[in-house]
Amino acid sequence: MSVRFDWYQSEAKVVVTVLLKNAPEKNYNVKIEADKVHMTADGYELLLHLLHPIVVERSSHKAYTTKVEITLAKETGVRWETLEQNANSASLAAPIPTRQVKNWDRLVSEEEKIEEKEAKGEAALSQLFKKIYSSSTPEVQKAMNKSFSESGGTVLSTNWNEVSKDKVDIKPPEGTEFRNWD
């Protein structure tokens, strides 16, 4: 039986995932202390000497059909460079776990698929605006043209009564800043 574990972190917690099928049947046990995590199951032991202290009371573990997930509450919001004090300090009795290797090609492929879906979404949105424009009254078309051009593409209105009164202000999305380029 080959056992693997991996970890990730957020600002508030560190999550250690130990790949172990049917953990309850293998009599798994997890002991969480301020500076270490000790997990045992039939046939192996995992001991991690943590890089930074954790809050034991807010930490937990849960068994799933394929893994045990250990959630450790960080004492401070500092980013951990490594999981352990000494990268070689993980003490493992038989069997020795192997680290998961990231398949970067697969990750790039997945990212390209997401970008492709987003591009299709943008094309669909553009098609929707074209349909609205082509089936609208001349008054609505004027409102759409005026609002879009005066706002630098940040506003699209179909209300001519509102748009005809004044120049349409630039309204960039929240968290962004509009800049004129010379």
Q: Name the token pair of 127.
A: 């098609």
pTM above 0.75, yes or no: no
More confident residue, 141 or 98: 141
More confident residue, 19 or 93: 19
Look at residue 151 in the predicted model and tell me its pLDDT.
84
CA distances from 166 to 12, 70, 87, 159 (A): 48, 59, 65, 12
Q: Name the token pair of 115.
A: 């970008």
SS3 110: helix
Give the confidence band of 36 by pLDDT, cuts at 50, 70, 90.
very high
Residues 63/21, Cβ–Cβ less than 8 Å: no
Kindly report, residue by residue over 86-122, the tens digit of the pLDDT. 755 444 444 445 455 566 677 777 777 777 777 777 7
Look at residue 84 in the predicted model and tell me its pLDDT.
92
Look at residue 3 in the predicted model and tell me its pLDDT.
65
Residue 71 has pLDDT above 90, yes or no: yes
More confident residue, 127 or 163: 163
Look at residue 34 in the predicted model and tell me its pLDDT.
94
Structural domains in the chain, sorted by start: 4-92 (2.60.40.790), 137-177 (no CATH)
Ramachandran angles phi, psi of 70, nearest 5°: -110, 115
Look at residue 176 in the predicted model and tell me its pLDDT.
79
Residue 55 has pLDDT above 80, yes or no: yes
Residue range 154-167: mean pLDDT, rounded: 88
Going edge to edge, which strands form the sheet with 13-19?
A: 4-9, 13-19, 67-74, 54-63
